[in-house]
Structures are given as C-alpha cells and as structure tokens.
Amino acid sequence: MEHNYLRVLLKHLIVWPLAFGLWMLLRNFGQTVDSEFNSLPISERVLILIALGLVAGSLFGFFEMVFEKHVNRAMSLGKLVIVSSLSHLTIIFVLIFLSGHILHELAGETFYWETFKELMFSNQMALLLLYFFIVITLISVFNEIDKRLGQGNLWKLFTGAFYVPKEDNRIFLFIDLKSSTTIAETIGHLQYSRLLQECFRDLSVVAKSKAQIYQHVGDEAVLTWPTKLGIEDCNCLNAFFDFKCRLLERAPYYLRKYGVVPEFKAGMHYGKIIVAEVGELKREMAYHGDTINIAARLQEKCNELGKEMLVSAKMKQKLKAAEQFHFDYQGKLVLKGKSKVVKLYSVEGTSHHGKTT
C-alpha cells in the first residue's frame, strides 16, 4: 500500500509543475503580457513555477491519498462530488495566495489581504480557475479509467501495445468466495452484494504485493503478475494470505454487519499466455490460453479437496524458495478435453502471516 501512495504522490509531483509551465506558455503565447511575473529573469520564473508545481503536487497528492483511504468508501456519489470539489477549490485558493505572496516578496512589496481579494475577483482569475478545473478533471478521469482497465494498461491502450496479440509469461491467481450460494440465500442478495463490495475493497491490500487485478466476475477476482514480479519476494502467495489476514482482522465487523466472516479459496498457475486488445464498443485487455484455464480449474478443485489454496507443481517449483509457506501434494488434475495432467499442491501460510492456516 505504501508503494501505491508513493506512486500517487510522484504522479502529482510530475504533473503539476508541467501544468504550471503550460499555463504560462498559454498565457504568453503570441503576445506580450505586462506583469510583475514576466518582468522577473527567466531563471527566477522557472524556479517559481517548479516550486508552485511541487507544492501543488504535494497538496493534491496528499488529498488524493487521504480521500481514497478515509472518505471515498463511506460517502454517496453526490457527497463525494461536493467534498472533492470544495477540497480542490480550497487547495487552489491556497496556491493562489502563496503565488501572490511569493511574487510580492520578490518585488520587495507587502502582500495585503485587499490585494488578494482584488486578485480573486479579476478576469484573469476566472480564466485561471477554469484552467485548474480542466487539469483536475482530466487527472480524475484518467485515474478512473486506469482503475477500470488495471494499473498501467491505459498507456498500453494509448500506444496500441496489444492491438496485435502478443505472447507473455504471467502468473494468474483466481480467488472465489466460499459457500457463496448459502451466504446469498441466508443474508439476501442485496446484503450479499454489499458483502462482496466490502470484500473486494479489502482486496486492495494486494497492492503491496504488486498485483494487478485483471477482473471481477461475480464473487470471483482474478489477479495477475508478470512471472518474475510475482515470484519476487513471494508476491503471488503473499497477496492471497495478506487478503486472508485482512478479512480475519475485520472479522468482528463482518460478523456484526453480515453474520458471517467471508472466506476465500484460490488457485494459481503460471505460464505462457496470449494478451490482446479486444472489443470495439468497449475495449479492454484480454488474456487467453491454457495458463488462465488451469488456474481457474485449480480454484474450483479447492472445494472437492477441502483446501483454501491450490497451486500447480510447475508453480510450486518456481516458488521453491518460499520458506514461509508449506506445500502438500494433493494428487493430479485431469483437464477436460485434454490429455494433459497437472499435479496439485495445497499451500498453507505460517505465523509470518499472523496465524497458521
């Protein structure tokens, strides 16, 4: 999660200095603007723009992190829009005040409150607020698109990286809610949907394991990693057991609200996969191949064997250095319509993950 916060902050620290620089280019393009700022040496103007951009990036980045973590979950869409707009407006006013104060200090003048009010109600301020509004809106839109496509896939779609199908090597982890039909019948479908929403919010804990959430399908989620990244520090195993620990930590809440503590089962496999951009009216990244099918079948096999997580022998071999996990041989899986046989291993976490499973 800390890695995700740093990514958010870094994004804003890059975007906002560029946004301030673009504003000055647009404001001066094709004309000579007589202002105190333009009378400063170019080196001082660049430093001021960078400083304001870094302050803006820090403020907006911090706001986005706090908003996502503490506010976004508990408010309706209407309230979210109002709170977000007022918060961004407050940050903009702080930035305007700081920029005015800095310019007056550089000019050896005192920045009075009356000067600030005069600046706020000027025609140029209306244009500046419109510019800020457009920048903030674009950032928000791209953030939402990136979340829906999966982190990093938006840029790949822009560049057409997978317009032509390509082969990749990836790990796939399928997780599915245990006893989902019984739970839905017991608590009702509306409460069941709310339960799934909360579970998949808690699934955000996998961000620290560098997982990409490929898709949600009903009560199932599919996570994926490039093979090297998934093996590194046992990210692919830690993701599932960290999620399990998060659910156990919140067990009293789930019991109080839904009368049940959600438990998930999982199947994991890795290998070659085909990735391609599909769809015309709605485009998305799609993966095809035996690797993803085998991972799905392993997850389904958990019920029959009474295990919470199954991996293929091929996956176990790749994870041979995972000393904090215990593997047990569970037999073979014959794939329907194929002659291929997959050896199965169950996986149990150790005290490294809070509790022995």
Per-residue pLDDT of 13-63, as tens digits, reads 888 888 878 877 777 665 565 566 666 677 777 787 788 778 778 877 777
The separation between CA 177 and the C-alpha centre of its own chain, rounded to angstroms, equals: 22
Same domain, 28 and 102: yes
Query: Is 52 in the same domain as 120?
Result: yes
Are 323 and 249 part of one and the same domain? yes
Look up residue 309 and give its amino acid: M
Q: Are residues 169 and 291 in the same domain?
A: yes
> What does each C-alpha distance from 158 to 162, 168, 203, 212, 214 come to in angstroms?
10, 19, 28, 19, 18
100 plus 192 within the same structural domain? no
Encoded amino acid at 127, one letter: L
266, 312 Cβ separation under 8 angstroms: no
What's 345's domain CATH number? Answer: 3.30.70.1230
Q: What is the dihedral of CA 102, 104, 108, 113, to 10 degrees?
A: -120
- The answer to whether residues 160 and 281 belong to one domain is yes
CA of 149: how far to CAs of 143, 237, 241, 287, in Å? 10, 23, 25, 13
Same domain, 276 and 313: yes
Residues 75 and 88 in one domain: yes
Mean pLDDT by 10 residues, the chain (357 residues): 64 82 74 61 77 79 70 56 69 74 67 66 74 77 64 61 79 95 92 93 89 88 93 92 94 94 95 83 78 92 92 90 84 75 87 46
Cα separation, 63 vs 70, in Å, equals 10
Residue located via tokens 């291993």: 345
- Out of 132, 149, 166, a domain closes at 149
168 and 299 both lie in a single domain: yes
Longest dimension (CA), the chain: 83
pLDDT for 241-277, tens place per residue?
999 999 999 999 999 999 999 999 999 999 999 988 7
In sequence order, the β-bridge partners of residue 51 are none
Same domain, 110 and 188: no
What is the pLDDT at residue 113?
A: 66
Bridge-partner residues for 170, per DSSP? 226, 271
- In this prediction the pTM is 0.67
Assess whether 9 and 141 both reside in one domain. yes
Q: Please tell me the total count of domains within the chain.
A: 2
Same domain, 139 and 39: yes
**Residue 235's pLDDT is what?**
92
Helix 2-28, helix 123-149: angle, nearest 10: 140
pLDDT for 338 equals 64
Residue 36, domain extent: 2-149
Q: Which of 101, 122, 149 is the last residue of a domain?
A: 149
